[in-house]
Chains A and B, each alone.
Chain A
Amino acid sequence: QSALTQPASVSGSPGQSITISCTGTSSDIGTYNYVSWYQQHPGKAPKLMIYDVSNRPSGVSNRFSGSKSGNTASLTISGLQAEDEADYYCSSYTTSSTFRVFGTGTKVTVL
C-alpha cells in the first residue's frame, strides 16, 4: 500500500485561502468516508483537524474545512494566519493489508 499523494508544499499570504489535495485510490479514499487531516508543528505531535472527510473536532477553528470527490480529498484553510504554518497530513482507512494509510505530507508556508 503506497502512501496517499499530497503536494510537497503550498504557500499563501495572510488572509488568503489555500487548498491541499490528497489523492488515493478506490481502495481507500474512493470507498470510505474515513478521511482525516492532521496538523504538525516542528517538534510536536500531530493534531487532528478534520475527521470523517469534513467534520471538525471541538476547538478546531472553522477556518479549516474538508471535502472529498472520488479518490481525492481536500483540506481548505481560509483566512490564512501565521500560526497555520506547519506540516499537514491526510489519512484514510483502507481495504489493503495496511488498514490505515497516511499521505506524504504538505508543508504550508505563510508568506
Chain B
Amino acid sequence: QVQLVQSGAEVKKPGASVKVSCKASSYTFTNYGISWIRQAPGQGLEWMGWISVYTGNTDYAQQFQGRVTLTTDTSTSTTYMEMRSLTSNDTAVYYCARDPGKGRFAPWGQGTLVTVSS
C-alpha cells in the first residue's frame, strides 16, 4: 500500500539545524508532490511547505520562508525537510504527506518528533 516512512526522533539545541527524511513507497514518486506539516504539543496542524517531486518547485508558508528548505531525491524516493536556527518554539511532531498540489494530504507519514532544548 502507499506508504510514507519518516526518520526517527531528534533532539537539538537552540540555534542548530535539523533534517528530517520521508521515504515513499508503492506509488510513482514523481507523480505527486509532498507537503510538510507540523504539530506542536497539544496544538493544531500547521502547513509548512510543498515540493513538486517532478519539477523540484517549492512553495513555503510565509512564516517558514528562508528558514526551511525542501529537497527531493528521486533515486531513493525520499523527500527531505531541513529547518535552521531552531528555537524551543519549533518543538513539534513533523509530518510529511503526499499532496498532488491542492492540499489533499494522503497518506501521512508516521511523524517525527523534533525536540529543541538546551
What is the interface of chain A, defined by CB distance below 8 A to chain B? 1, 3, 32, 34, 36, 38, 45-48, 51-52, 57, 89, 91-93, 97-105
Cβ contacts under 8 Å, B28 to chain A: none
Shortest Cβ-Cβ A-B pairs, 7 listed: A48-B106, A45-B108, A34-B102, A97-B62, A100-B103, A102-B45, A105-B44
Contact of B47 with A by CB under 8 A = yes
Given contacts A3-B44, A57-B106, A102-B46, 6 further A-B contacts (CB under 8 A): A1-B62, A46-B95, A98-B61, A100-B47, A100-B61, A102-B45
Interface flags, B70-112, vs A, CB<8A=1, else 0 = 0000000000000000000000000101000011111111110
Q: Which residues of B in the span 11-38 have a Cβ within 8 Å of any Cβ on A? A: 35, 37
Interface pair B108/A93, CB less than 8 Å apart: no
Of A47, A92, A99, A103, the contact of B108 (CB 8 Å cutoff): A47
Find the residue from B102, B103, B105 having the highest chain A CB count within 10 A: B103
Contact of B10 with A by CB under 8 A = no
The number of A-B residue pairs with CB atoms under 8 Å apart is 67
Size range of the chain B interface in the assembly: 20 to 34
With both beta carbons as reference points, the residue of chain A lying nearest to B60 in the complex is identified as A99
Interface pair B106/A102, CB less than 8 Å apart: no
Interface pair A38/B105, CB less than 8 Å apart: yes
Of B35, B104, B110, B111, the contact of A51 (CB 8 Å cutoff): B104
Cβ contacts under 8 Å, A92 to chain B: 103
Q: With A45-B95, A99-B61 as given contacts, are A105 and B102 in contact (CB-CB < 8 Å)?
A: no
